[in-house]
Structure 1
């Protein structure tokens, strides 16, 4: 059985994309990154993907009349590359319900908070403002509701009294680079899958929806 052909969607520098590409350099890794797509042609991550030998393309989303029109081009590009899994890695454009439905169970994301806390943007700023003691990141299956899909894996970090938004973000990002490759490996190998709206982790009993990997 061959490795699962995987596409990555980015909007910026693509540091999580690079972590996935690095993990997939190991022939024993169950997924291979075959294409990287961005919603703008100036995303720095496209150069990183190109240097790593991965096919990539940037598409200007503002040139399309609506999200679904753009998402149809994304979908066609992924299917042309014979992709079976899609990873969002700092992809900052909300996907249309049509696209999510096409890839449901085969579309994963990483979010910089311990979901369900702090959906959306500025998660580190919100955690500090709330006086949170624990913060972190979450991988999850993507569903039409923003940042609300079933959790696959989480990593926690302590929030220090001296933390700024930037310092907290840097420590969380380190953990993102750890759990996203692990998550992709789980999903690509079939050990984590979406079933009846929940994440099922094979060999771990009843569906619980998360693995906690603390770093505190």
Structure 2
């Protein structure tokens, strides 16, 4: 069965493009049924046909709740199996999360639980860390605190800046997201309450992406 994926994005959409490329190559059995943004000028929107785009400025709504209701209604109308936050820069409210809980994923550029929130590359360098990475996790109301499904690691090199570190991490971040979506699309990933199941077994620790782009325990 082909999984239906809705993507939330605020920027250039590099993770979205990686998803679309994998679908086109036949390595991900999925369909992007809609792209949703809080920024009508976001480049990510241009990666799909007009009929699959939805964008609106939150400032055009009476309040945050009204905006998120409109967003949630638009997402629900595409009947997604999975909703993926891929560079979506707004914190989602409790009502939106509750509506899609258990099929709402986020990719975050840090080795969670380290560095929730923004500026993760700079924070890792400033802390003197020897490695950095990205995590895919289920979304819950607490920011970047849902169960971490899988992570990928890259070294922090002498002389790294936030920009060089981000550039080196990005292709590994793409590979991580695609690997997790492969699990999800195959029906091998579920969230049941506070327990995440992978291949029918409780996921006790995050999976790791190896150099061959495989998820391993």
Provide the TM-score with structure 2 as the length reference: 0.91
Question: What's the C-alpha RMSD, in Å, of the aligned pairs?
Answer: 1.7
Q: Indicate the larger mover: 181-190 or 96-105.
A: 181-190
Q: Indicate the larger mover: 152-161 or 68-77.
A: 68-77
The correspondence of residues 49-64 of structure 1 with structure 2, limited to 5 A, is 49-50=48-49, 55-64=52-61
1:119: Cα distance to partner?
0.3
1:199: Cα distance to partner?
2.1
Q: Indicate the larger mover: 184-193 or 26-35.
A: 26-35
Seen in structure 2, the aligned counterparts of structure 1 residues 54 and 185 have a Cα distance that, compared at 3 Å, is: farther
Q: Which runs of 5+ in 2 are unaligned?
A: 212-217
CA contact (8 A) 1:157 1:214 kept: no
Seen in structure 2, the aligned counterparts of structure 1 residues 20 and 119 have a Cα distance that, compared at 3 Å, is: same
Q: Indicate the larger mover: 31-40 or 113-122.
A: 31-40
**Partner in structure 2 of residue 77 of structure 1:** 74
Q: Indicate the larger mover: 39-48 or 25-34.
A: 25-34
Of 110, 113, 122 in structure 1, the residue corresponding to residue 110 of structure 2 is: 113
Provide the TM-score with structure 1 as the length reference: 0.91
Q: Which runs of 5+ in 1 are unaligned?
A: none
Number of aligned residues: 211
- Find the aligned partners of 1:25 and 1:54 in 2 and give their Cα distance: 19
CA contact (8 A) 1:68 1:99 kept: no
**Partner in structure 1 of residue 204 of structure 2:** 208
Q: List, as ranges, runs of 4+ consecutive aligned residues in structure 1 with deviation greater than 4 Å.
A: none
